[in-house]
């Protein structure tokens, strides 16, 4: 089905909700006024993207981020390409009709706000260049490509989803296209569908796999150009070429509003500590950003924990000290935030987990089968675990502690029983401890409480300590995208279309200068391999796009570090409020994106 960009869809309708409403053809009740207004919001983009443009190389061929030779061997067709930029034609504009293109697109991994605008930009690019083009959306993520489940995206579908949060037009999934067999199936389906291009919207792993697929297709002389778009709310897909992944801005604004509200709840009711865990397992960008927005009494940054080798008791003491000092001022309330991944960055917990994995896991066996492996420790541990119904959790933990080093045993036994038991009993199919399932905000709240009771006993503290714990994660993945995410995604979609038309494969669409107005952004592409390194995973060398962690020497962390001491004892909570789409605040972006490090 050819595209039908019958009108410039936005201009005609800006502010015209009646038109939007009648076009949606649905009863009023279903669409909030705000959702309708967002339907008619016209995302902003650099002017170069409004017509046909040229794509020129603008750097030398780039090496990989590390292990260049190994990356080159893995990606002979993709590697050592230059950066490219999109620019105006220097002569008169050519007639704006390109060849008809067939392009597929899919969402990979957890949703992030703005995904639908990638589709919108892509569609508009294709339709503006040639109305005989087609845009195919694969359903349910990468598995949609493997199973060839797709829909043709038309103007009406996009109209319903543009500037709206979520990935629900297509759905998403975590299937990875990485084995030889999967690559072959994906390639065959691209061929069958005669795709000129495939746009993969995803995080670091998905983009690594996008490059594998690009390589496979190039090697087999396929026609499909594979282009990636940087997505992840955690903000850890960020490097010298990519300033931000989409979804981060909206997610941080959503969390910051809630955390800010809790700060004022603390200082209004004056009787609880709110302890909030925020999304971000591998990096603390979200926690750092939210700290800068909300001014909590304590914010723990995983990267600092690792750098300073701070153990669990040290973190507990940092918080307990703050509680004590505040209590002396008559303040038995406060606000503490932590990143999701915190415990995995503590050296003592890491050592404990490594030992537990050793002791508890038996290769390729569930805990019931462990007894049969001949691994005596694992068998004993499995036996202990299997007795959970009759023995108390405390007894089981003690039995397992007896198998650990003194240090780890002491740590395990110092944990509240339910958490210790969770570490001992709750394992993934490979027998590994499921660290990500630990509700670290509850663990830390309980340990701080215990430490404070100890101090009370010692008469070095005489306050009250009551906590309410929170985890903010999923709430921030599918909200209405901020103006920034609307503009950024729309721009990335247009850029991805351009890269495909101009035959670039193994590239990621990018826009830079994001701290400026969208009209001033520079746009182009970066070769995926230039962001790659080799990592050892499960005994194998694998290519990865390195996750960006918080740079402790960088401007964002330093600006937090320079003020955090003042926030400990004051109630300097900052009003954030719900994200606004109109008014002078509407185009503000997060500090993290604003700051070039």
Catalytically active residues are 234
Q: Which stretch binds its own copies (CB under 8 A): 41-49, 122-130, 303-311, 583-591?
A: 583-591
Shortest distance, CB of residue 145 to its own copies, whole angstroms?
16
Residue 302: count other Cβ atoms within 10 Å of its Cβ.
26
- Please report whether residue 470 would count as binding its own copies according to CB under 8 A: yes
480 lies in the binding site for its own copies (CB under 8 A): yes
Please, what is the minimum distance in Å from the beta carbon of residue 454 to its own copies? Answer: 18
Residue 291 to residues 34, 268, 285: CA-CA distances in angstroms?
Answer: 28, 20, 10
Number of residues that bind its own copies (CB under 8 A): 69
> Quick one: which of 307, 281, 294, 340 has its CA closest to 591?
294
Segment 369 to 398, residues that bind its own copies, using CB under 8 A: 389-395
Using CB atoms within 10 Å of the CB of residue 442, give its burial: 0 to 12 exposed, 13 to 18 middle, 19+ buried. middle
Q: Which is nearer to its own copies, 4 or 558 (CB)?
A: 558
d(CA 566, CA 83): 44
Which residues between 7 and 46 bind its own copies (CB under 8 A)?
17, 30-35, 37-38
Q: Which residue has the tokens 């939007």?
A: 20
Stretch of 239-247, 447-455, 472-480, 509-517 contacting its own copies, by CB under 8 A: 472-480
438 is in an annotated binding site: no
Residues 270-299 that bind its own copies (CB under 8 A): 270-271, 274, 293, 295
| Cα torsion 377, 378, 383, 387: sign | positive
424 binds its own copies (CB under 8 A): no
Q: Which of 184, 328, 474, 558 binds its own copies (CB under 8 A)?
A: 474
- 110 in a labelled binding site: yes
* 70 binding its own copies? (CB under 8 A): no
Known binder of ligand: residue 279? yes
- Pull the structure tokens for residue 469: 């714990």
Task: Please list every residue from 327 through 356 that binds its own copies, using CB under 8 A.
Answer: none
DSSP E strand stretches across 405-498 = 467-472
Q: How far apart are CA 199 and CA 226, in angstroms?
A: 6
| Angle, helix 248-269 to helix 285-294, in steps of 10 degrees | 50
Start-to-end Cα distance in the chain: 46
Task: Indicate the residue among 398 and 502 with the shorter CB distance to its own copies.
Answer: 398
Taking the C-alpha atoms of residue 591 and residue 563, their distance in angstroms, rounded to an integer, is 15
From the list 168-176, 218-226, 319-327, 543-551, the region that binds its own copies by CB under 8 A is 168-176
Span of 69-77, 312-320, 376-384, 575-583 interacting with its own copies by CB under 8 A: 575-583
Compute the chain's Rg from CA coordinates: 26
Applying CB under 8 A, does 110 fall inside the site for its own copies?
A: yes
How many whole angstroms separate alpha carbon 550 and alpha carbon 558? 11
213 lines the binding site for its own copies (CB under 8 A): no
CB of 416 to its own copies, least distance (A): 13
Stretch that binds its own copies, among 296-304, 309-317, 397-405, 578-586 (CB under 8 A): 578-586
Residue number, 279 or 343, with CB nearest to its own copies: 279
For its own copies, give the closer residue by CB, 91 or 583.
583
Q: Which of 24, 22, 87, 84 is nearest to 53 (CA)?
A: 87
Nearer to its own copies (CB atom), residue 73 or residue 563? 563
Q: Does residue 377 have a known ligand-binding role?
A: no
Q: List Cα–Cα distances, 483 to 77, 82, 107, 407, in angstroms.
A: 37, 31, 21, 51
Nearer to its own copies (CB atom), residue 113 or residue 367: 113
Q: Answer for the pair 111, 137: CB distance below 8 angstroms, yes or no.
A: no
Nearest CA-CA partner of 304 in 566, 565, 557: 557
Q: Is 427 helix (H, G, I), strand (E, B) or coil?
A: strand
Q: Does 254 bind its own copies (CB under 8 A)?
A: yes
| Cα 188 from Cα 169, distance rounded (Å) | 24
Site for its own copies in 112-141 (CB under 8 A): 140
By CB under 8 A, name the binding residues for its own copies: 17, 30-35, 37-38, 107, 110-111, 140, 164-168, 171-173, 253-254, 257-258, 261-262, 264-265, 267-271, 274, 293, 295, 389-395, 418, 468, 470, 474-480, 571-572, 574-585, 588
Q: Which residues sit in the known binding site?
A: 110, 204, 232-234, 279-281, 340, 474-477
């Amino acid at each position: 089905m050819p595209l039908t960009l019958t009108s410039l869809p936005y201009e005609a309708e800006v502010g015209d909700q009646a038109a939007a409403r009648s076009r949606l053809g649905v009863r009023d009740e279903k669409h909030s006024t705000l959702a309708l207004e967002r339907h008619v919001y016209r995302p902003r983009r650099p002017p170069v993207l409004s017509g046909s443009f040229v794509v020129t190389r603008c750097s030398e061929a780039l090496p990989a981020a590390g292990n260049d030779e190994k990356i080159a061997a893995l990606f002979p067709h993709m590697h050592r390409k230059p950066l490219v930029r999109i620019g105006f034609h220097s002569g008169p504009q050519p007639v704006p009709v390109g060849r008809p293109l067939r392009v597929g697109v899919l969402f990979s991994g957890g949703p992030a706000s703005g995904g639908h605008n990638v589709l919108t930009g892509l569609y508009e690019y294709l339709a503006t260049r040639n109305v005989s083009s087609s845009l195919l959306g694969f359903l349910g993520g990468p598995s949609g490509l493997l199973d060839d489940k797709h829909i043709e995206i038309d103007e009406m579908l996009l109209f319903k989803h543009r500037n709206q949060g979520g990935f629900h037009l297509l759905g998403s999934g975590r299937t990875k296209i990485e084995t030889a067999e999967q690559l072959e199936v994906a390639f065959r389906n691209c061929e069958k569908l005669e795709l000129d291009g495939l746009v993969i919207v995803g995080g670091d792993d998905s983009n690594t796999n996008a490059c594998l697929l690009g390589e496979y297709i190039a090697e087999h002389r396929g026609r499909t150009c594979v282009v990636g778009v940087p997505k992840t709310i955690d903000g850890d897909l960020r490097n010298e070429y990519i300033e931000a992944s989409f979804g981060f801005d909206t997610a941080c604004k959503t969390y910051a509003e809630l955390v800010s509200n809790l700060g004022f709840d603390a200082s209004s009711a004056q009787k609880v500590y709110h302890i909030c865990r925020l999304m971000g397992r591998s990096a603390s960008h979200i926690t750092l950003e939210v700290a800068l927005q909300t001014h909590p009494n304590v914010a723990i940054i995983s990267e600092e924990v690792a750098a300073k080798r701070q153990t669990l008791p040290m973190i507990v003491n940092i918080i307990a000290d703050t509680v004590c000092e505040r209590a002396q001022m008559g303040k038995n309330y406060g606000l503490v935030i932590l990143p999701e991944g915190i415990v995995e960055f503590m050296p003592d917990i890491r050592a404990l987990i490594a030992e537990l994995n050793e002791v508890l896991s038996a290769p390729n066996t569930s805990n019931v089968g462990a007894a049969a492996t001949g691994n005596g420790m694992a068998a004993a541990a499995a036996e202990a675990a299997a007795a959970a119904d009759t023995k108390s959790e405390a007894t089981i933990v003690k039995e397992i502690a007896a198998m650990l080093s003194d240090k780890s045993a002491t740590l395990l036994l110092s944990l509240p029983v339910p958490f210790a038991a969770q570490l001992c009993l709750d394992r993934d199919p490979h027998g590994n401890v499921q660290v990500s399932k630990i509700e670290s905000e509850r663990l830390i709240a309980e340990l701080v409480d215990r430490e404070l009771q100890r101090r009370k006993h010692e008469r070095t503290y005489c306050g009250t300590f009551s906590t309410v714990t929170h985890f903010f994660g999923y709430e921030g993945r599918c909200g209405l995208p901020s103006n920034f995410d609307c503009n950024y995604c729309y721009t990335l979609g247009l850029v991805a279309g351009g890269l495909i038309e101009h035959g670039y494969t193994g590239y990621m669409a990018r826009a830079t200068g994001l701290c400026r107005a969208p009209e001033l952004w520079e746009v182009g592409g970066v070769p995926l391999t230039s962001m790659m390194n080799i990592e050892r995973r499960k005994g194998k060398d694998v290519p990865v796009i390195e996750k960006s962690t918080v740079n402790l020497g960088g401007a964002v962390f330093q600006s937090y570090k320079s003020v955090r001491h003042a926030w400990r004892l004051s109630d300097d909570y900052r009003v954030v409020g719900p994200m606004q789409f109109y008014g002078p605040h509407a185009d503000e972006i997060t500090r993290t994106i604003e700051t070039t490090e």
